[in-house]
Structures are given as structure tokens and as C-alpha cells.
Structure 1
Amino acid sequence: MAFLGEAAAGKICEMAVEMAVQKLTEEAKLLLDFSKDFLWLQDKLIYVRSFLRDADQQSPHKEGVKQWLDRIRVVSLLAEDICEECAVESIYGNDPQSCGFSCNQWIFRHRIGRKIKDIKERIRSIIEDRNELKLLGEVVSANEASSSTSHRVDHKKSYLLPSGSYSHAVGIQSKVDDMLRLLDNNASPIIAVVGMGGIGKSYLLQHVFNYVKERYDKSIWLSFSQSYSISTLQCDIASYLGLGPQIKNEGVSQERAAELIHENLKGKRYLVVLDDVWEAREGLLCKLGLLTGDNGHCKVFLSTRNREVCTILNAHIYEMQFLSDSESWNLFRFYAFKGNEAPNHQLEEVGRDILKQCGNLPLAIKMVAAALPKTRMPRDWESKLHRLKEVVIADDDQIIPILRLSYFSLPARLKACFAYLSFFPKVEQINCEYLVYLWIGEGFIPAGEGQWEAAWYCIKQLANLCLLQVWEQYEDRPSCKLTNYCTTHDLLHDLAINISKENKCIFSVEEASKGENGDCCRILLGMKDVNDAPISERPIVLLRTLSLYQNWRIKSIPQNLFTAMRGLRVLDLSGTSISKLPQSLGKMTLLKVLNLNNTEIEKVPKCVRHLKSLLFLALPQRCEKLPVWINEVKCLQHLE
């Protein structure tokens, strides 16, 4: 029995040694084959990106194929993380592919080698499904011919932004005159512009606002959303009145904030615009501190698609009319022919047929005309006409297909750039320079020489297609720095949000707090009026962007939050009340954009020192002194 025990023990030892040797061999192979595996990964990433671009140019696929594509996208994102980690290491003098290795480089090679092995296994699993593979292979081959004629960015072209070209007004002056008469006749302290989405309500109010704002002591513009917050709107009003710090820092109640606003406005003549009000709650103006019974001192303009809003607020209704046929044609000519006559009679006939499908709706006309091929050949427009005939504009919901039609005709890069406009809440303006850094941070613009010019050229392209409106203005600072801003129409913003939701983006606090967000790529909670960071601490490996923008009630960030977000590229905490950052942020090797503007942070956080990929850093004004180590952040391009 003893002999049998010793034999069994010997056999077990032999098996253990054999398993250990096998394991060591596998681990050594990860190290020795690193360079070969890394080059393989780079080649596969180029192929996968090309494949996904081609697939995105097609119409929506069947559900099973969509799921298959999602698996490919996950592999693509994981591969991007690995390639960027290696690029960052080489910048800091720790090239993982160099001949001489330090201990840290061996550890890095081993960790990345395991990740590459995991990606190989995922790819093998993906290609096992032959039916989807064959179907999507046909999708790719069908698109190969068209890819050669796809939009290319010409870096030699000027990327200067257009100034004034996109403010072409057709049929607006008579409507402005109508509104001014209503204002002068004191028809009502509240005047509501009512009409369907895309008919030009906000555009009209912008003109009226600019005409009359100098008559008033205070002029306030408030942009609403479908789920607006009284506290957020109060903060917006307070910023116009110089009450922002008083309301935010004291953390006053909504009732007290309304009192402070009303006390500040008492006895003054003031004008308020409530833009895009989806629904009105009883006593809305009182809750905001805007009382219309102050001896006629207050005037309120609002735009809405919902007549019930006018009833609740007891507003005088101004019905927004469609453009006339001649006005519609003039607007179409401006965007299709740069204001000139049609080059030939045949092209004009097709153009007028296309115009009929736009229902005399300004937004639809601009979008369709701007997206038409720049050609003299009628047949080049006929395919667009055929697709438009499938869309009939009758109400707000049915204009979305026309907007989607314009979106699906975009090149892949512009699709990503446009959808990222959902990063911003429905506010007045977007700083173009910040938007460019966000695009670059997310990887929409390929790295390398000319990256900056290519990003600005994307802004120009979106503006040319009427997906953005761009203007220049001077900052209200001693240096009078010229800054470019842009904005997009409410319906286009809604479209960007819908597209982003389809691509694993989260916009609600409830979803963000769940523990089921492992495949989520963006969490966008700007202006949600939340009290703390409502993010699940479960790993979110694929997360690229986290925005808690303008949630001033957030005072702290959980210590372990960022350990679950190692692939994060963009972090926007601006407009929150946080006073320090958790040290776990320092492990964000791939973080490229960090916005801490308008926070309570007084010193540059030490964890910033370890953000090896950081391109953009915005600090609060109270952060006056820079540490000597800031130069160690080698990639930093913008320090605000």
C-alpha cells in the first residue's frame, strides 16, 4: 500500500511538473512571439476598420447580422486599446518592441501578449458562423467598387471656417415684422411661436431676439429639452444675472433660487426666450423666478411644437407658416446652386421634383439640397429623388427619415463626428476647438501629420451639408481671442442622440447606475441635475467617453470608479462641484481629454502627471499655479 501511495504521489508530481513546464512554455511564447503577434494585430485592425466602414455604408442589417457586427466592433475597440498602449509606451522611451528589455518592459509585453491571445480567440469564434460571414462578405465586395470613389479629405484645401454663408434668410423678414408688431401692441406678455419641427421657429426667434434685446435691461435665452430640469434652468438664468456662484455654492433650494432671481429682476425690463418647450408644467415661470405681472416689464417669447403649452402658459399664439413655393425654390437654389440659376432645364426639373418631396419645410430643403451631388447631369440627382419619394413629410416624426437619409449618405468618418454632437446637451453653442479635441480623442481622426487640419475640415464639411451652423465671435476677455462656435438644429441633435443610442451610448441616470453596461462605449449625463456620480463600478472595459458636464450638485467621485474604465479617452467633469480627483484616474493611460473647467479644484491634481496620452487639459480659474512636472506630460497640446 505504501508502495502504491509513493507511485501515485510520483505520478502526480510528474503531471504537475509537466503542466508547469507547459504553462511556462506558453507564457514564454507570449513574450518571444510578441513582435510577430503585435504586427499581426495591427494588420487585422486595419482590415477590421475597413470592413466596419463598408458595413456602415449599407442599409441596416438583420438583427442577427447586427449582433455579429457588434462582436467585430468590440474586437476592434480592444485592438485599438492595445495599439495605443504600445504607442504611448514608445513615446515615453519604453518601446515594447525594442531589442533591450527592462523588467517593466517584460511585464508589459506579457500583459499585452495575453490580451492579443484573447483577441485571437475572439476572432476565431466570430468567423465560425459561416452564414453571417458569407452574407457580410457579399456586403463588403458590393461596396469595394464604391469605396474607391468615397469622400476623401483633401489636406491641401483650406480648412478655414465659413463666415456668414450659412445664415441665408428666406421668407424671414415678414415673420419678424409680424412678431415685432405683436410685441409693440402688447398683445400678451407671453408670445408663442407654434409649428412643426424644422419649420424655423428658433431661427425666427433668434432674429427677433437680436432686433429687440437692446431695448431691455436683461435679455435671457433658455434652451429647453424633452426632460428639462428646473434647477438647471435656474442656473442658466443665474449665469445671465451674475447670480451663478450664489445659487450654486450655497446649494439653495429651487424655491429660494426662484426668489433670488425674482428679486434681481424686480423693477427691470427684461426679455426671456424659452426655446423648444416640449411640455409646460403648471407655474413654470414662477418656479423659474420669472413673473409676468411686473407692470409689463417682462416679455416672454417661446417656441413649441405643442399647442397645449400655449394653453397652460396663457400665451398668444403666432402660427409659423410653411415657405411659399417661390421661397422654397430660392432656398433650394442657394444650397444646390450657390444662389445661381440651374445650369440647365433638365436639372431644374429634377430639382423641382426633389423640392416637392421636402414639403416647403426649410430644414428639409437645406439638408437635401446641400447633400446633392455637385453636377450638371440630371441622372446624378434622380437616385436621390427616387429615395425621397419614399418619404412623405406630414408631421414631426416623418421628417426624421429625411434627416436619416442625409446621415446615411455621409462618409464613415463624418457619421462618427456628427453622432458625437450628442455629447453636448441642447445648449446654444459648442466651442469648435473643444469639439475637435473630442473627435481626435475618440480616434475619429487618424493620428499623424495633418490630423488637426483633417479635423477642422470635417467641421467645414458638416457645415457645408447644413448639419452644423458655424460662426466666429470674440471672447469677452482682455485678449479678445477669436473663437469659432457651432450649433445644430434641435431635430438634428435628436437624430444624433438616436444614432448614439443605437451605438451603445447611455443618456439616462437609471441606465448608467445599472451593472449591465459592460459593452457601453459612452455615458453622457450632461445637465441631468444629479447629486452624485451615478455610475456602476462594475468594469466598463469598452467605455470611451464619460461626461458629467454641468451637474453642479456632484461634489465627489468614488475612489475606485476609474479602475473599471481603463480604455477611457474623454472625461468631462466641468461644471461640477468636485474639489479633488481620485488617484485611480492616474491609471488612465489612454485618457486624451480631461475637462475640469468650473470645478472646485484649486491645484492641478497629482494624478494628471501619469496621464501619458493627455492632449487637452482644461483647469478651473482658481487653479492659478502650474506644477513643475507639467512638462512631463509629453503629449499635452492644449492647457486652458
Structure 2
Amino acid sequence: MVSMEAAVVTGILKVVGNKLAPLVIKEYRSVVGVKKDLQELQNLAMEINSWLEAQGDRAEGNWLKKLKDVTYDVDDVLDEFQLEAEKKDANADGGAMSRFRTKPKSFLLQCMAAWKIKDIKKRFAEIVNQRTDINEIKNNIPDAHPARHTTVELLPLPNVDASSVIGRDREKHQIISKLVESKHQQKIKIVSIIGLGGFGKTTLAKLVFNDGNIIAKDFEVRLWVHVSQEFAVQKLVEKLFEAFAENKSDHHRLPHMSKRISEKLSEKRFLLVLDDVWTEDRIQWEELMAFLNGIAPGPGSTILLTTRSREVAVTVGSTDHFDLPLLSPNDSWQLFQQSIIMPATGWNFQFEEVGNQIVKKCGGLPLAIKVLACALTGKERIEEWTAMRDNSLLDAVGEENRLFACLKLSYFHLPSHLKPCFTICSLFPKGYMIDKERLIDQWIAHDMIGVEDGVDYFEYTAHKYFNSLIQRSFLQDVDENSYGRVKYRMHDLVHDLAQSILGDKISLVVPKEASSSTRSYRYFSLTKQTIHLLPKSLFQKARALYADKCEVDCKIFGMALKNARHLRSVTMDYVDKELV
């Protein structure tokens, strides 16, 4: 297993390799030695990457953090050089006069890029030379510890493959019986499913929601809303409105939306699923209930709520609480076998023995079992299985710590080309339904998609990457609409993992003033913020910017973006642009 820092570096180096590959093929007669330097830099990057993966968890220490910073810098320089290379090619097509007019400026810029490449190559080489002291370094390696905002999103159809869900039949039937037993009750009934992250609360709620024998026949209207950590009544109303309207709620006032919801739900028996509720604010909850009761729902209308906290269930006044149990040892092993792709030759007794020991360390947590099973897929050497079994991360105490440790271990086992593709998903807020095509555009913009032999377009490879993350359970809740657009969601704990990997390189707020720390931010994920004052140097090293439901002063924002020389992507959803 590689350390967290090493895993991040290997991912960035993979991107660097993607950029270097076409550059080393080109010839730069204007700058003596540049091609040689690029070739040597590519060799160094490959050498470091191979060495890090071979060292495993012994690769740790302050020098590795320096290596991460240098790796980010070389990626920035390659962007500049790549741009100049493309300009040079374009000028070359313009004839002799075009080349003559642009040569002095082109020569100067290429010299500057070449000087930066030489400097970074030197810094790289100094760090590579430190490998000779690895025996001294590894004796002082500290133990790795697992590192430890938000939108309301509507799921049109929370699909689930019922045949793939193991060990929840009894709970499903118990919940359904409670939901339908009060057909004539005027007051909206509330039933809560309680359990920590990764227990399978959402999956169980989907089983109930999609039941065609009882639920589909008993309720005239079924709605599903993913809530997560933010509980804003107006936003919940907007998402309920979007379930009926063909356009977004941004175009309508709250009274209009309330009236439309009332028209659709009045006198109808509905089932409303509120998935992943965190609020313990009784006043906010009573405000939501006042709105729902005010639309005159049909008798027997019910709310099914999933939450990690019993306090939430008490706050909302649930009549029934279902504490979701861990999976039994038999169900856990069955889920593991279902989640892993077995080799054609099958496994011998030794593999089953070690597999059972790994499953036991998962402690009956469904998500932990699935991600580790996916991480073991394709590993046909027993040594690889025993290494995972013996990893100290799996000895974490407590269900949530154990789950996070399993997710982290699964990330370590990702191929290096998938690591950056996974971490950049954390740009989008928790609970957000991310469009697959938009995500692939991000990957391509950030040079995360390598060139395959015989394949001349990136999208083909990107779709393979996407499917790999689905198969490894890093992406879930995949939904395809009638137009063929595919969206997905990340489990909250998986999202936490992705953001923890970026660490101090990602900012979730708008800093009021510049500092040494703000100038090191590479990623910005801004939700519901007022962007009227920005330090000019804030985006100096930024690679990606995501803004959702933000109020933006375009003039100030534009001035800050002028210094964003390494910005690969800007994504702005529902932004209120204030023109000044």
C-alpha cells in the first residue's frame, strides 16, 4: 500500500506523463537542448512514479510533501510550454513571413519555458537522489492516520437492483408495513431509518420506494429528495417544485412554486422520502411540516426519513424508528462474493480463508465490503490479498472509522490514472447529481485522460475510466434520463475521502485577503457565497473553479481571474452575476 502523499503524487505524475508524451515527439530548433530536457524530464517522472509504487507505505516524510509541490509546479510549467508549442505549430503553417514576425517573442517565451523546465528537472533530480537515504528515512516514518456544505438535490427515480441487495428483506417488509398501516390517518406520519454512513440506509429506502407490490399501489404520488447536511426549507420547496415543473425553480417565486405543489399533492396520498437528514433544529422542521400540512395532503400521507442520528428522528417526531443493523457474517460474505469478479479458474481454499478474514475486518458494513471487494478484483496472487488483510488501516476502532479506513485502502489500490479522476469529483458539493459528460470534460481539460494505442479520441478512454470508478463503488446512484444524459452521486464518506486527499490544496470558502496559504490553493469549490471582494493573487495557482448559487461581482471576479494562468476549468451553476 502507498501512503496518502505518495498516492497523490503518483496521480499527478500520471497527468504529467500524459502531457510530456506528445511534447517529446516535437522538435524545437529555436531552443537548443529543450527536447533533450523534456525527454529527461519524462524519464525522471516515470522513474519516480515506478519507485513510489514499489516502495509502498515506506514512501513517507517531509521530502515527499516537497515532491508533491514540485510535481504540481512541473504540471504548471508544462501547460505554458504546451501552449507555446501549439502557437509555434500554428505560426509554422502561416508561411515564412508569419514565422519571421513572431520569432522574437516566440523565442523569448520558449527560452523562459525552457529555463523553468531545466530548473524543475534539477529540483526533481535532487529529490530522486534522496532515495539513497530511504533506509534512514523509513525508520522514522510516523504511522499513517486516516484523515477526517451542501445542497438539496432531487433524485427523479432512485433506482436500485433489488436482486443485488443482501440481508435487508426483513427490514424492508417491516418498514413497508408501518408505512401503509394508517390509510385513514389525517396527520402526516413519519418513519425513520437510523444508521451510520455506509450502513445501507439509502439502499434500504430505495428498496421500499420502488416496491411494486404494495408501495406503488398504495401511494398516489412518490417523491424522493436528497437533503444532506443543509436543511433549508425554501430549497426543499424548490426541489419539490422541480419534480413537477419542466424548468428550474430559479425562474419562479416561492408563492408560485407553493401553489403548484399544492395543486399536485392536495388530497393525494403521497410518500416523501427525505434521504440523509442531519438537522436537529425543531423550528426548521416545524416550518417544513407546516408547509406540507398546509397543502391538504390525502389521508395516510407519509414521510420516510433516513438519518445518522437518533436525535434527528426524535426532533422530527417519528412514530417508528428502525435502527439498521450491521450485516451478519453470512450476509457479509455473500455480499463480498457478489461484489468481486472471480477469475475464470476460481479460487482455492486459501483465497476464501483470507477473503473471510478481510470481510470480518469490515465489521458488517456493506459499503466497506463492496469497496474492498472491488479493490481486490483482478488481484490473483494470494500475497496481494494477505497484504490487504494485514494492513493496519483495517484495525481502526469504531464503525465509521473502520469504513473510512476501508475507503482509504481502496483508494490506495486504484490505478494511478484513476486517482486524479476520482479526487477532482470533490469539486462538486456533497449530494450533487453530477453529469457524466461534464465530468469527462473536466478530466480532458485537466489532461487526466491518456492516449491509447489505436484510439484517436479521449472520450472513449474517459468512458472506460468512468465505468471503472462505478465498478469500484466510488460513484453510485447512476441515473440516465430520457435524453440519454447520465448522472451520478458520491456517497458522503467517499466525498469526504476525495476532499481529504486534496487537503490544503482545496478551498471551500472565499478568503478575504491573500496569504501564503491562500496562494497555494489549486482547487476552489464555492457554494452559496458572495464573491464581491477577492485578492488579485487568489487564483494564481488555481487549476479548477466550481461555483454554485453564488452572487458574483463580475468586474472583481474577472480581475482575479486574469492572474489565473493555470486554470483548466471553470464551472458555474445558477450564479447571480452582478454587473458593475
TM-score by length of 2: 0.76
Cα RMSD of the aligned pairs, angstroms, is: 3.9
Which letter maps to 2:506? C
Which letter maps to 2:508? F
Aligned with 2:391 (options 387, 390, 398): 387
In the TM superposition, 1:529-544 aligns within 5 A as: 529-532=528-531, 535-538=534-537, 540-544=539-543
Structure 2: unaligned runs, 5 residues or longer? 1-27, 139-158
3-state SS of the aligned residue for 1:314? coil
- Aligned partners of 1:420 and 1:496 also within 8 Å: yes
**Deviation string, structure 1 residues 31-83 (Cα, Å, up to 9, x no partner):** x9743353245325424543563476443855521331133123312222123
Aligned with 2:471 (options 464, 468, 473): 464
| 1:409 to 2:413 alignment | yes
Distance in 2 (alpha carbons) for counterparts of 1:204 and 1:429: 20
Distance in 2 (alpha carbons) for counterparts of 1:95 and 1:290: 69
**Deviation string, structure 1 residues 376-429 (Cα, Å, up to 9, x no partner):** 654442222111684245221332111101101112111111112212222363
Q: Which residue of 1 aligns with 2:10?
A: none
| 1:174 to 2:175 alignment | no
Shift of 1:257: 8.7
Q: Which residue of 2 aligns with 1:223?
A: 226
- Aligned partners of 2:44 and 2:124 also within 8 Å: no
| 1:191 to 2:191 alignment | yes
3-state SS of the aligned residue for 1:578? strand
**Deviation string, structure 1 residues 101-124 (Cα, Å, up to 9, x no partner):** 243343133124224324434554
Distance in 2 (alpha carbons) for counterparts of 1:434 and 1:75: 26
Distance in 1 (alpha carbons) for counterparts of 2:516 and 2:63: 26
Q: Which residue of 1 aligns with 2:500?
A: 498
| Stretch deviating more after TM superposition (568-577 or 287-296) | 287-296
Distance in 2 (alpha carbons) for counterparts of 1:129 and 1:347: 39
Q: Which residue of 2 aligns with 1:368?
A: 372
**Deviation string, structure 1 residues 181-202 (Cα, Å, up to 9, x no partner):** 1101239711111012111001
Q: Which residue of 2 aligns with 1:156?
A: none
Shift of 1:220: 3.2
Distance in 1 (alpha carbons) for counterparts of 2:313 and 2:336: 32
CA spacing shift, 1:166–1:457, aligned 2, 3 Å: farther
**Deviation string, structure 1 residues 262-284 (Cα, Å, up to 9, x no partner):** 75555444332222223332223
3-state SS of the aligned residue for 1:518? helix
- Aligned partners of 1:555 and 1:576 also within 8 Å: no
3-state SS of the aligned residue for 1:221? strand
Q: Which has the higher contact order (CA 8 A, sep 6+)?
A: 2
**Deviation string, structure 1 residues 499-540 (Cα, Å, up to 9, x no partner):** 1225x1222344898784222211112xx2223366533253
Distance in 2 (alpha carbons) for counterparts of 1:96 and 1:518: 39
Q: Which residue of 1 aligns with 2:39?
A: 43
CA spacing shift, 1:470–1:269, aligned 2, 3 Å: closer
Aligned with 1:331 (options 309, 324, 335): 335
Q: Which residue of 1 aligns with 2:239?
A: 236
Distance in 1 (alpha carbons) for counterparts of 2:439 and 2:532: 23
| 1:399 to 2:406 alignment | no
Q: Which residue of 1 aligns with 2:570?
A: 571
Distance in 2 (alpha carbons) for counterparts of 1:424 and 1:235: 20
Which letter maps to 1:451? F
- Aligned partners of 1:96 and 1:109 also within 8 Å: no
- Aligned partners of 2:229 and 2:279 also within 8 Å: yes
Q: Which residue of 1 aligns with 2:81?
A: 83
Distance in 1 (alpha carbons) for counterparts of 2:72 and 2:232: 35
Which letter maps to 1:473? E
| 1:71 to 2:72 alignment | no
Shift of 1:244: 6.4
Q: Which residue of 1 aligns with 2:152?
A: none
Q: Which residue of 2 aligns with 1:638?
A: none
Q: Which residue of 2 aligns with 1:109?
A: 107
Aligned with 2:449 (options 445, 451, 459): 445
Distance in 2 (alpha carbons) for counterparts of 1:68 and 1:210: 51
CA spacing shift, 1:367–1:250, aligned 2, 3 Å: closer
Shift of 1:489: 2.3
Which letter maps to 1:271? L
Q: Which residue of 1 aligns with 2:354?
A: 350
Shift of 1:97: 13
3-state SS of the aligned residue for 1:366? helix
CA spacing shift, 1:426–1:116, aligned 2, 3 Å: same
Larger CA Rg, structure 1 vs 2 = 1
Q: Which residue of 2 aligns with 1:561?
A: 560
- Aligned partners of 2:241 and 2:261 also within 8 Å: no
3-state SS of the aligned residue for 1:573? strand
- Aligned partners of 1:45 and 1:79 also within 8 Å: no
Q: Percent identity?
A: 22
- Aligned partners of 1:262 and 1:289 also within 8 Å: no
Which letter maps to 1:68? K
Structure 1: unaligned runs, 5 residues or longer? 1-31, 141-162, 476-480, 583-640
